[in-house]
Amino acid sequence: MNRRSFVKAGIAGLAAASAGMQLVLTPGAKAAGKVVIQYDWLMSNGQIGDIAAVANGYFKDAGLEVEFSPGGPNAATVPPVISGAAQLGQFSETPQLYAARASGVPVKIIACGFRTGPYAFTSKPAKPIRGVADLKGKKIGIQPTARFVIDEILAKNGIDPSEVTIVNVGFDKAPLVRGDVDAIGGWITNTQALSVVGDDRIDLLVRDLGLSSYADVYFATDAAIEKDPDTLAKFIGAVAKGWGWVHANPQEAVKKMVAAYPEMDLGWEEKTVNLVLKLSFDGQTAKDGWGTFDPASIEEQLALLDKVGQYPNGRPAAADVYTTKILELSAVDRPKLDAPAA
């Protein structure tokens, strides 16, 4: 799922001001080679741990000089990584990495920032969608580029597509507010945009409709993973420490994030940070550390995407889209924490 198609409201408005903004850690790091990370979208609450790693000096402690290169509506994520202009990148969701690999791009997942994708269906109490059975007979507003998401959900749950009406929508929530649709898709972390629906809205993650995915996916080329895994491991280890610090200090972390990127709204981000942490940490991260992912889940995701026709030229093998090497090398630095309490 491409965030360029899913996000407007809260962070799309940041494009003009912050698409080119960079956080560069330079003091005391002159001897280190610069590590550039190319993000898929603008800096937002999905990168709060990365930002904390800069603010708290974790990259510097690891001997790295790190530059954040944010994306945006017209930015390309893969070319800078393939060319070597960036040492690693971050996709919004796993299907983007799979599609790149299916097209012959030699990149692999090295860590996943969100344990579940934040795409969700929002409905109102009058016509609630609280589970799979509630999809039947409903009008679902979904962005055209996200159509495969609903196709996956229907296929996964054995629902005939004729039982659901799909309506193409844009970014805002007006179609739901007006009653043109019974539910609308979007990023659950975009709380400011969702607020227009009302406090009684019902948000249902696609995970809870049987669709597994990871988000904020860190990736690197096969060559980088082979030739310089230590640098990638130092980067992931420092970012993991940043996320661990956010877990312990969520409100202070929000203040540091907004200080670095003042286009973000402090009030809304303070309301959203615990949700972000619940997407980033769970029982599995308590066991294996932040950034972990399950190869079996990746195989399941690939098989389902293949089933709904996403790979007309053949799906990539699971072993070609991920490596656990970087997680293993950074294991000592990645905090083992569960989701924060409600």
Strands 65-69 and 119-123 come out as: unpaired
Report if residue 339 sits inside a domain. Answer: no
Q: Rounded distance, CA 54 to CA 257, Å?
A: 10
Q: Do 260 and 181 reside in the same domain of the chain? A: no
Cα separations in angstroms, 107 against 97, 112, 323: 7, 14, 10
- The CATH number of the domain holding residue 28 is 3.40.190.10
- Amino acid at site 62: A
Strands 88-93 and 34-39 come out as: parallel
Among 159, 191, 209, where does a domain finish? 209
Q: Do 236 and 314 reside in the same domain of the chain? A: yes
Report if residue 48 sits inside a domain. Answer: yes
pLDDT bin (cut points 50, 70, 90) of residue 19 is very low
Q: Rounded distance, CA 221 to CA 18, Å?
A: 27
pLDDT confidence of residue 145: 82
pLDDT confidence of residue 208: 94
List of residues 6+ apart from 281 with CB closer than 8 A: 115, 243, 247, 290, 337, 338, 339, 340
Res 26 pLDDT > 90: no
pLDDT digits (tens, 9 = 90+) for 107-158: 999 999 999 999 999 999 999 999 999 999 999 999 998 899 999 999 999 9
Q: Do 188 and 203 reside in the same domain of the chain? A: yes
Pull the structure tokens for residue 186.
């979007």
Q: Rounded distance, CA 202 to CA 146, Å?
A: 20
Q: Do 99 and 18 reside in the same domain of the chain? A: yes
Q: Do 191 and 317 reside in the same domain of the chain? A: no
Q: What is the mean pLDDT of residues 40-58?
A: 97
Q: Do 229 and 321 reside in the same domain of the chain? A: yes
Among 156, 189, 209, where does a domain finish? 209
Report if residue 239 sits inside a domain. Answer: yes
Res 6 pLDDT > 80: no
DSSP code, position 331: G
CA 323 to chain centre: 18
Report if residue 242 sits inside a domain. Answer: yes
Q: Do 98 and 173 reside in the same domain of the chain? A: no
Q: Rounded distance, CA 203 to CA 9, Å?
A: 17
Report if residue 342 sits inside a domain. Answer: no
Among 170, 190, 209, where does a domain finish? 209
Report if residue 130 sits inside a domain. Answer: yes
Q: Do 18 and 149 reside in the same domain of the chain? A: no
Q: Do 31 and 180 reside in the same domain of the chain? A: no
List of residues 6+ apart from 231 with CB closer than 8 A: 33, 35, 64, 87
CB 280 within 8 A of CB 218: no
How many domains does one find in the chain?
A: 2
Cα torsion angle, 155, 159, 163, 169, sign: negative
Backbone phi, psi, residue 39, to 5°? -90, 155
pLDDT digits (tens, 9 = 90+) for 195-243: 999 999 999 999 999 999 999 999 999 999 999 999 999 999 999 999 9
Report if residue 109 sits inside a domain. Answer: yes
CB 300 within 8 A of CB 152: no
Q: Do 59 and 170 reside in the same domain of the chain? A: no
pLDDT digits (tens, 9 = 90+) for 299-341: 999 999 999 999 999 999 999 999 999 999 999 999 999 999 8
Q: Do 150 and 199 reside in the same domain of the chain? A: yes
Report if residue 338 sits inside a domain. Answer: no
User: In which domain, by residue range, is 278 found?
Assistant: 3-117+215-333
DSSP code, position 64: -
Q: Do 219 and 312 reside in the same domain of the chain? A: yes
